């Protein structure tokens, strides 16, 4: 009996020595593929309301987006009110009943996301979670929240004030702040996807998983502009090894359908995000989509590249001036190949299939044209439009 007691004591000491997340790890199924859904900020910004979110949920179902995989309906900044006498966060007048909103979204077979900051204020100057992390996490769980975007915002100023001229100390503070909310979310025992939004500072892809991130922003904010979108998207080269099921690099939300890019540019946007195994969070007004926008956001063959169960992010294979070839490994030995033309004129781009280990006859499918091409031998050349893309799925 004494020996048994000693063994049990030894096991207990060993457990106490483990990191918190080893005892209370997130569900392995949480964000097993990159999250898909909608976020309010790109179109509605600070004007978003309860009615807008309900309308987005309705449109996701009616349009077929839910069936295509778009599940999360995410409220960004400006939903926050003041705290009550006990310190509990309240919603403002735009969101009269967050629990009722969550129930409505859930009734559609969707999930609800929300936004906060580790600082005292959000980017728009609303109430942040500083000093109330567990309290806020508990409130989110009580409401039925399924996703949290946690934006650095005013905490960045605190880092500089408390550790002036010491970036290492500042980064340590940032890691601790994100880990604190991670632990708070775990304590709720509710599966909540955790999205780190701190603009890629301190190579977040190296430490994001250790603070519980299911996804982490690798860049500054996107905008509905080809130059900005392509700068962000193509700068992801080299980050593939840091992505895996449950943990994804996030080059920010989709701008497809917001009106300031051409259809070819939006197809480039969607294709690049799919190759990158990036979260697909639409940012347009879903109630006013034209047929072109629908066809881009709901191209199930392109979505399948992003959501491939192998869980591998793609990377750049080659670049010659503005002409780039990217590849992404897929399950069952298949491969996605994207030919990008970043120039101002139509141009033929060639990919050497033999360099990818694809010798002999190769089956290929053009995912935007929705047609089979080939069989291919050794190489493939496509005439790619200005700022456009040809996206293939190839297999032996």
What is the per-residue DSSP string for 114-138?
A: EEE-SSSB-TTS-B--TT-HHHHHH
Residue 216 corresponds to which tokens in the numbers above?
A: 């982490």
Q: Could you tell me what percentage of the chain is helix, strand and coil, using 3-state DSSP and rounding each to the nearest 5?
A: 40, 25, 40
Distance of CA 218 to the CA centre of its chain: 10
For the question of residue 315 being annotated catalytic, the response is: no
Mean pLDDT, rounded, for 97-111: 98
User: Which CA distances in Å does 251 have to 23, 77, 230?
Assistant: 31, 19, 10
- pLDDT band of 6, cuts 50, 70, 90: very low
Q: Report the first-to-last Cα separation within the chain, whole angstroms.
A: 63
**What contacts 373, CB < 8 A, 6 or more positions away?**
364, 365, 366, 380, 392
Q: Are 276 and 249 in contact (CB under 8 A)?
A: yes
Which residue did the predictor score with more confidence, 1 or 99? Answer: 99
CA dist., res. 70 & res. 73, Å (int):
8
Mean pLDDT, rounded, for 52-60: 98
Given a cut of 80, is residue 40 above it in pLDDT?
Answer: yes
Question: pLDDT of 123-161, one tens digit each?
Answer: 999 999 999 999 999 999 999 999 999 999 999 999 999
Mean pLDDT, rounded, for 160-189: 97
User: Which residue(s) pair with 368 in the sheet?
Assistant: none
Predicted pLDDT of residue 4: 40
CA dist., res. 262 & res. 392, Å (int):
21
Question: pLDDT of 317-343, one tens digit each?
Answer: 999 999 999 999 999 999 999 999 999
Mean pLDDT, rounded, for 257-268: 98
- pLDDT band of 270, cuts 50, 70, 90: very high
User: Which CA distances in Å does 44 have to 49, 126, 159?
Assistant: 9, 16, 30
Whole-model pTM: value is: 0.92
- pLDDT band of 16, cuts 50, 70, 90: very low
Share of the chain above pLDDT 70, in %: 93
CB count in 10 Å sphere of residue 210: 14
Predicted pLDDT of residue 354: 87
Mean pLDDT, rounded, for 221-241: 98
Tell me which of 50, 77, 136, 151 is the catalytic residue: 151
The values of phi and psi at residue 16, to 5°, are: -65, -25
- pLDDT band of 12, cuts 50, 70, 90: very low
Question: How many residues are listed for the chain in this entry?
Answer: 396
Mean pLDDT, rounded, for 360-381: 91
**Residue with the two structure tokens 């807008």:** 52
Predicted pLDDT of residue 81: 98
Predicted pLDDT of residue 277: 98
Given a cut of 50, is residue 274 above it in pLDDT?
Answer: yes
Mean pLDDT, rounded, for 41-58: 97
Q: Is 295 strand, coil or helix? A: helix
Task: Pinpoint the alpha helices (H) of 240-390.
Answer: 263-275, 291-297, 300-306
Tell me which of 58, 138, 221, 366 is the catalytic residue: 221
CB count in 10 Å sphere of residue 21: 16
Q: Are 327 and 336 in contact (CB under 8 A)?
A: yes
Q: Are 243 and 236 in contact (CB under 8 A)?
A: no
Q: Is 116 strand, coil or helix? A: strand
Given a cut of 60, is residue 380 above it in pLDDT?
Answer: yes
The values of phi and psi at residue 311, to 5°, are: 75, 35
- pLDDT band of 167, cuts 50, 70, 90: very high
- pLDDT band of 26, cuts 50, 70, 90: low
Predicted pLDDT of residue 141: 98
CA dist., res. 334 & res. 364, Å (int):
10
Predicted pLDDT of residue 25: 56
- pLDDT band of 375, cuts 50, 70, 90: confident
- pLDDT band of 9, cuts 50, 70, 90: very low
Question: pLDDT of 183-193, one tens digit each?
Answer: 999 999 999 99
CA dist., res. 278 & res. 260, Å (int):
21
List, edge to edge, every strand of the sheet that includes 147-151. Answer: 248-250, 215-217, 193-197, 147-151, 111-116, 72-74, 36-39, 280-282
Helices (H), strands (E): how many in the chain? 13, 18
- pLDDT band of 396, cuts 50, 70, 90: confident
Q: Is 184 strand, coil or helix? A: helix
For the question of residue 221 being annotated catalytic, the response is: yes
Given a cut of 50, is residue 15 above it in pLDDT?
Answer: no
Q: Is 87 strand, coil or helix? A: coil
What does pLDDT average to over the chain?
93
Query: Which candidate, 180, 212, 168, 215, places its Cα nearest to that of 195?
Result: 215
Show the domains of the chain with their CATH numbers.
Answer: 23-306 (3.20.20.70), 315-395 (2.60.40.1180)
Given a cut of 50, is residue 2 above it in pLDDT?
Answer: no
Q: Is 250 strand, coil or helix? A: strand
CA dist., res. 327 & res. 318, Å (int):
9
Query: Which candidate, 52, 142, 159, 45, places its Cα nearest to that of 89?
Result: 142
Predicted pLDDT of residue 359: 76
Mean pLDDT, rounded, for 94-104: 98
Given a cut of 80, is residue 28 above it in pLDDT?
Answer: no
């Amino acid at each position: 009996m004494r020996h048994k007691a000693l063994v049990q004591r030894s096991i207990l000491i060993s457990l106490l020595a483990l990191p918190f997340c080893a005892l209370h790890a997130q569900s392995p199924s949480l964000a097993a593929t990159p999250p898909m859904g909608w976020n309010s900020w790109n179109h509605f910004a600070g004007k978003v309301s309860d009615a807008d979110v309900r309308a987005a949920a309705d449109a996701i179902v009616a349009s077929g987006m839910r069936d295509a995989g778009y599940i999360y309906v995410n409220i960004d900044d400006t939903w926050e009110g003041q705290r009550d006498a006990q310190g509990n966060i309240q919603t403002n007048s735009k969101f009269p009943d967050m629990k009722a909103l969550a129930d409505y979204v859930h009734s559609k077979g969707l999930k609800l996301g929300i936004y906060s900051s580790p600082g005292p204020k959000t980017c728009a100057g609303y109430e942040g979670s500083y000093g109330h992390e567990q309290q806020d996490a508990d409130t989110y769980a009580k409401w039925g929240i399924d996703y949290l975007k946690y934006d650095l915002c005013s905490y960045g100023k605190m880092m500089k004030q408390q550790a002036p001229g010491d970036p290492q100390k500042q980064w340590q503070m940032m890691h601790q702040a994100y880990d604190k909310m991670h632990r708070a979310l775990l304590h709720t025992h509710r599966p909540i996807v955790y999205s780190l939004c701190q603009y890629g500072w301190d190579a977040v892809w190296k430490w994001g998983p250790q603070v519980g991130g299911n996804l982490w922003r690798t860049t500054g904010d996107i905008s509905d502009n080809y130059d900005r979108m392509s700068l962000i998207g193509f700068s992801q080269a080299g980050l593939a090894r840091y992505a895996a099921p449950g943990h994804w690099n996030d080059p920010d939300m989709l701008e497809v359908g917001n009106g300031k890019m051409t259809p070819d540019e939006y197809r480039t946007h969607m294709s690049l995000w799919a190759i990158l195994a990036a979260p697909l969070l639409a940012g347009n007004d879903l109630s006013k989509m034209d047929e072109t926008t629908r066809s881009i956001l709901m191209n199930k063959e392109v979505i399948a590249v992003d959501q491939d169960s192998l869980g591998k992010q793609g990377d750049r294979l080659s670049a010659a001036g503005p002409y780039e070839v990217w590849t992404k490994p897929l399950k069952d030995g298949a491969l996605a190949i994207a030919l990008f033309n970043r120039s101002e004129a139509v141009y033929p781009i060639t990919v050497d299939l033999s360099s990818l280990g694809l010798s002999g006859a190769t089956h290929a499918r053009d995912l935007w044209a929705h047609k089979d091409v080939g069989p291919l031998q050794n190489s493939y050349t496509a005439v790619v439009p200005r700022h456009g893309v040809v996206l293939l799925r190839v297999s032996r």
